[in-house]
Chain A
Amino acid sequence: MDLSLEIGSLRLANPLIAASGCFGYGVEYADVVDLSTLGGVAVKGLFLSEREGHPPPRIVETPSGMLNAIGLQGIGVHRFIAERLPELRARGAIVIVNICGTTLDEYVEVARILSDAEGVHALELNISCPNIKEGGITFGCSLPGTHNVVSAVRKVTSLPVIPKLTPNVTDVASFARAAEDAGADAVSLVNTFLAMAIDVHTRRPKLSNIVGGLSGPAIRPIAVRMVYECRRAVKIPIVGMGGIATAEDALEFMIAGANAVQIGTMNFVDPFIWTKLLDGIRDYMTTHAIARLQDIVGTVNTSAREKAWISS
């Protein structure tokens, strides 16, 4: 049974990746999950310097989902390399570092520093965080901006480059294409949907940042549709995410066109979700006699429905 896949030069043993912003720096979960059994660990977004993020309240629940506005609190790339990366390396994790920037130069600088660090396996470009005003999403919401940041990072690293796309655009597939044209090894999608929640009694927003990003099962069907659209637009691998809670959910993303998937919000609910997902995927492969999991990628059958079952 082969669950592996490749993103550029990187081989992942299975398609399950911990989503950035939902797994700390990975080390927080090292005693709960054997990190080496995951396809990869996408660590919390890193800028060049430390950031404090937004004041609380930073999250609020909504039906089958949650809004967050953490504001990319982080320890910066240098402290990450000195204080967290050694343990990730010792635990045998495949480390995907999510990198952020307020300027093009900052993305390039962070990418360059991480490319020289032992134990970093890929770079995910955060051009899609809805919660900070400067940089980031301004690249992710403009086709030339996406192209420019991907090609600039591409020039300074031999690591696989995976831009993470925002769903807060009219046509996400055109952004996937811009990333592919600029030399991306894969794209990941979706980041959270810009959203808002208000306390009607006080008439105040429930988040200190006023708006935040919606994640969780509530967004899954929209994310599946966006992965499907991107699969038809690009040849490079797609890392799909959005509210995956079960093995079936992960398989749905893969059949829509994702080569790998990330689990974010549901890891908060169940930190032991990983073995359950892997077992479920293996059961599915057994049931459907699938030897190689990548064979199901993008196989959604959209041809006219067979009529036989209707008349019978």
Chain B
Amino acid sequence: MEVYTSMMPVDIDATVIANRRLSADYNVLSFAAPEIAAAARPGQFVMIKTSGGQDPLLRRPFSIFEVLRDDTGQPAGISIFNKRIGAGTTLLSRVESGMRLAVLGPLGRPFEPVDPPAEAWMVAGGVGLAPFVTLAIALAARGTRATLFYGARRAEELYCVDLFEALGVSVVLSTEDGSRGIRGRVTVPLGDALERRSLGNPVKLYVCGPTPMMRACAQLAHAHGRACDVSLEQVMGCGLGGCYSCVVLARGGDGGKPHHTRTCIDGPVFDAQRVVWDEVSGH
């Protein structure tokens, strides 16, 4: 029998522990949510009710950015990496410690970290950094060498690099205006690295960012014969497979005819080669 949910999600009336404002547009919001923290796997997400009322009505999906631990090392909470874009994310940029928000999770198909000798290359664009802290921790636990290719428009929009460096991840930065790291999009250093790497050395790509960037990375991975997983973000109604809002056109595991596939329960992590990129909406 098909399995529809890998684990039972819980809905927590979660207290905000901290709202760390990184800039006018970005903040890291931490919640007390021990049950979600204990069950979370790399790349999973939560659905957050951003208002106490009915506008906005629906919850918003957010990757679990960090799993927070208490003094004894027990999972105590989670954080999200929020970029102010619309009404819901604006509300989340303004919340204060002590407020409570409904947080449902953990949800979705997680990343599968590779084992050594394979290396893991994480590729993040902008707010697409969100799912990679949890993945980096899982990779470190396996002893898998990891690199983060992280791109943004300018230096001020590169955040939390120290988190990755502390985990032993090699970080390769790029900015479109050249104000930090390599000038150009993240695909420039990624393409160079793929060119340089001999086929005998296995590597798997993990990508999250704007749709055109993920499409470009998927093409690079395909051209170099490398495995590539993407974490897709679509407009989501429920996060549990009930509404069929968040579909992308994706081929089945057998590579057959593509179908509208729910990113909430069949994703958000997909093998990039399954995705019909020309049909993916988003920005």
Q: Which residue of B lies closest to A90 (CB)?
A: B1
Within 8 A of B (CB), among A172-191: none
Inter-chain contacts of A63 with B (CB < 8 A): 54-55
Known: A57-B235, A68-B245. A271 touches B54 (CB 8 A): no
Q: Answer whether residue B144 sits at the interface, using C-beta atoms and an 8 A cutoff.
A: no
* Binary contact readout A249-277 vs B (1 if CB under 8 angstroms, 0 otherwise): 00000000000000001011111100000
Chain A: interface size category: 35 or more
Inter-chain contacts of B4 with A (CB < 8 A): 27-28, 30-31
* Binary contact readout A20-41 vs B (1 if CB under 8 angstroms, 0 otherwise): 0111100111111000000000
Distance between Cα atoms of A44 and B243 in the complex (Å): 9
Known: A31-B8, A217-B54. A269 touches B244 (CB 8 A): no
Q: Answer whether residue B35 sits at the interface, using C-beta atoms and an 8 A cutoff.
A: no
Which of A28, A56, A73 neighbours the largest number of chain B CB atoms within 10 Å of its CB?
A56
Is the Cβ of B244 less than 8 Å from the Cβ of A58? yes
Distance between Cα atoms of A310 and B51 in the complex (Å): 38
B259 to chain A, nearest CB (A): 7
A42 to chain B, nearest CB (A): 12
Q: Answer whether residue A216 sits at the interface, using C-beta atoms and an 8 A cutoff.
A: yes
A23 to chain B, nearest CB (A): 5
Q: Answer whether residue B248 sits at the interface, using C-beta atoms and an 8 A cutoff.
A: yes
Prevailing SS type, chain A contact patch: loop
Inter-chain contacts of A58 with B (CB < 8 A): 235, 244-245, 247
Distance between Cα atoms of A75 and B133 in the complex (Å): 37
Q: Answer whether residue A295 sits at the interface, using C-beta atoms and an 8 A cutoff.
A: no
Known: A52-B260, A271-B104, A272-B11. A28 touches B240 (CB 8 A): yes
Inter-chain contacts of B56 with A (CB < 8 A): 61
Q: Answer whether residue B234 sits at the interface, using C-beta atoms and an 8 A cutoff.
A: yes
B80 to chain A, nearest CB (A): 18
Distance between Cα atoms of A60 and B87 in the complex (Å): 13
Distance between Cα atoms of A216 and B281 in the complex (Å): 25
Q: Which residue of B lies closest to A272 (CB)?
A: B11
Is the Cβ of B5 less than 8 Å from the Cβ of A56? no
Contact count A vs B, C-beta below 8 Å: 110
Is the Cβ of A83 less than 8 Å from the Cβ of B247? no
Is the Cβ of B54 less than 8 Å from the Cβ of A28? no
Inter-chain contacts of A270 with B (CB < 8 A): 11, 102
Q: Answer whether residue A159 sits at the interface, using C-beta atoms and an 8 A cutoff.
A: no
Inter-chain contacts of B259 with A (CB < 8 A): 52
Distance between Cα atoms of A261 and B4 in the complex (Å): 26
Q: Answer whether residue A144 sits at the interface, using C-beta atoms and an 8 A cutoff.
A: no
Q: Answer whether residue A287 sits at the interface, using C-beta atoms and an 8 A cutoff.
A: no
Inter-chain contacts of A311 with B (CB < 8 A): none
Is the Cβ of B237 less than 8 Å from the Cβ of A59? yes
Inter-chain contacts of A303 with B (CB < 8 A): none
Inter-chain contacts of A29 with B (CB < 8 A): 240, 242
Distance between Cα atoms of A29 and B242 in the complex (Å): 8
Within 8 A of A (CB), among B1-57: 1-2, 4-5, 7-9, 11, 49, 54-57
Q: Which residue of A lies closest to B263 (CB)?
A: A56
Q: Answer whether residue A55 sits at the interface, using C-beta atoms and an 8 A cutoff.
A: yes
Q: Answer whether residue A244 sits at the interface, using C-beta atoms and an 8 A cutoff.
A: no
Known: A56-B281, A59-B235, A61-B58. A68 touches B243 (CB 8 A): yes
Q: Answer whether residue B155 sits at the interface, using C-beta atoms and an 8 A cutoff.
A: no
Q: Answer whether residue B151 sits at the interface, using C-beta atoms and an 8 A cutoff.
A: no
* Binary contact readout A66-100 vs B (1 if CB under 8 angstroms, 0 otherwise): 10101001000000000100110000000000000
Which B residues lie at the A interface, using CB under 8 A? Answer: 1-2, 4-5, 7-9, 11, 49, 54-59, 102, 104, 234-235, 237-238, 240-249, 259-260, 265, 279, 281
